[in-house]
Structure 1
Amino acid sequence: MKKTIVLSVLFALPIVAYLFFASGVNTFAKLPVVTPGIKELPGWQSLSGEDIKLKDKITILGFPGEDILYNKGNAFNLNQKIYNKNREFKDFQMVMVAPLGTEGQAKELLSELSRLTNVSGWHFVFAPKEEIKAFHASLNLVGGLDDKAGTPNVYIIDKDLNLRGRKGMNKKGEEEYKEGYNTISAAELHNEMSDDVKIILAEYRLALKKNNKRKI
């Protein structure tokens, strides 16, 4: 009898854990869309020379501004709390949109990060500041960029070019709105953003399983 109970608990725990992480800390089965159908990146120059796109990728989109190295602690927080936990997901990427002239800083930052992790999922693209500000404005968010075309916030973009976040009632019955996640706060990344990324990855894993079953 005891063996049966133990086996049942061991079998149930992974399922319970999956449901817990898939539901996150808000009340949504799916992570809400904050801005639908954002623009694709307009072919800006990338550090690697690759053509970096958002479509068909789960992207953490950031705007580090002109002071990439001065604010490198933000990137290290993001790398530790979000990227390292999810980089094995093949369609997951980090895309940082930075002003022209910051290529050297971006290269140095990636060199420092590479001492800690495989940075193949980190991408930097570069554009004039006014183009970056116009692109950010097209996301239709409450927050804007500073005069150096930067913000500590990063954003979750799904494979269909929707910006995802929190929009609606939370567990306390309070209205909640979150369009971006503050990389200055390791706690916010660890608690809120990590949960929300888990939700969206769970969505795609579930969709993939359903598609595979249909093909059988």
Structure 2
Amino acid sequence: MKKKAVLFILFVFPVVAYLFFASGVNNFGKLPILVEKVPDMNEMDPNVRLKDKITVLGFLGNDLENKKGSAFNLNQKIYKRFGEFNDFQVVMVVPKGNETETMELKKELGELSEVDKWYFVYAPEDEVRSYFKGLGTNLDLGSDLSTPYVFIIDKDLALRGRNDDEDEGVKYGFDTSSVAELNNKMVDDVKIILAEYRLALKKNNADRIK
């Protein structure tokens, strides 16, 4: 008995504790709404919509060659982990004229994973600026109309993020150039919002049965 107890403490308990704390972030609270309503994509591309989807939204700009690292980070750390969910998608806004480059990028990403839920929306530069401004964040686009930050948009077009982030206070977006930030913050926040919708779906199904 004593040996079994020692083995449990040494091997089983650490695993149980890890699973408890790793999943705990999903089980409590909701991901704060930072912007109540952001514009949908209808005017820029009628084939892509944010409404009724959980979207990771980004802006690749005109220099896609220098954004490949960030795109690969996002694909490996976030998309490959959550892309299996039916309502999950990645949408990248890109200035018109970069269609060939984005298709090449999508092809390269496709060598590492399925990319059927990666979408690219093309718009004139002034529309890209206007759309980004409509997000209402505290961030700016670079001179090439890109940002390393991506944003979580929920099914009701609300921008979700953190209002008590230990580093930034209010955190609107996640820096795709930082693997640590994707691993330590964005993974948790995407888990939370997916858990919200799973719980809401279970509740709706339960209410229908009553």
| TM tier relative to shorter chain | 0.7 to 0.9
Q: How many residues align?
A: 199
TM (normalized to structure 1)? Answer: 0.84
Compared CA separation, residues 153 and 213, structure 1 to 2 (3 A): same
Q: List structure 1 segments (4+ residues) > 6 angstroms apart after TM superposition.
A: 12-15
> In structure 2, what is the equivalent of residue 102 of structure 1?
98
Out of 184, 188, 209, which is 1:195 matched to? 188
1:48-63 equivalences in 2 (<5 Å):
51-63=47-59
1:54–1:157 Cα contact (<8 Å) kept: yes
Q: Tell me the percent identity.
A: 48
> In structure 1, what is the equivalent of residue 35 of structure 2?
35
Out of 117, 127, 132, which is 2:128 matched to? 132
Helix, strand or coil for the counterpart of 1:59?
A: strand
Out of 63, 84, 89, which is 1:88 matched to? 84
Taking the aligned partners of 1:143 and 1:114, their CA distance within structure 2 comes to 30
How far 1:148 moved relative to its partner? 1.4
How far 1:196 moved relative to its partner? 0.6
How far 1:142 moved relative to its partner? 0.8
Taking the aligned partners of 1:175 and 1:188, their CA distance within structure 2 comes to 12
Helix, strand or coil for the counterpart of 1:69?
A: helix
Helix, strand or coil for the counterpart of 2:196?
A: helix
Helix, strand or coil for the counterpart of 1:214?
A: helix
Q: Partner amino acid for 1:35?
A: V
TM (normalized to structure 2)? Answer: 0.87
2:165–2:171 Cα contact (<8 Å) kept: no
Taking the aligned partners of 1:16 and 1:213, their CA distance within structure 2 comes to 26
Aligned-residue RMSD, C-alpha: 2.4
Q: Partner amino acid for 1:22?
A: N
Q: Partner amino acid for 1:180?
A: G
Out of 112, 137, 162, which is 1:116 matched to? 112
1:129–1:148 Cα contact (<8 Å) kept: no
Taking the aligned partners of 2:165 and 2:152, their CA distance within structure 1 comes to 19
Taking the aligned partners of 1:111 and 1:179, their CA distance within structure 2 comes to 29
1:31–1:164 Cα contact (<8 Å) kept: yes
How far 1:146 moved relative to its partner? 1.2
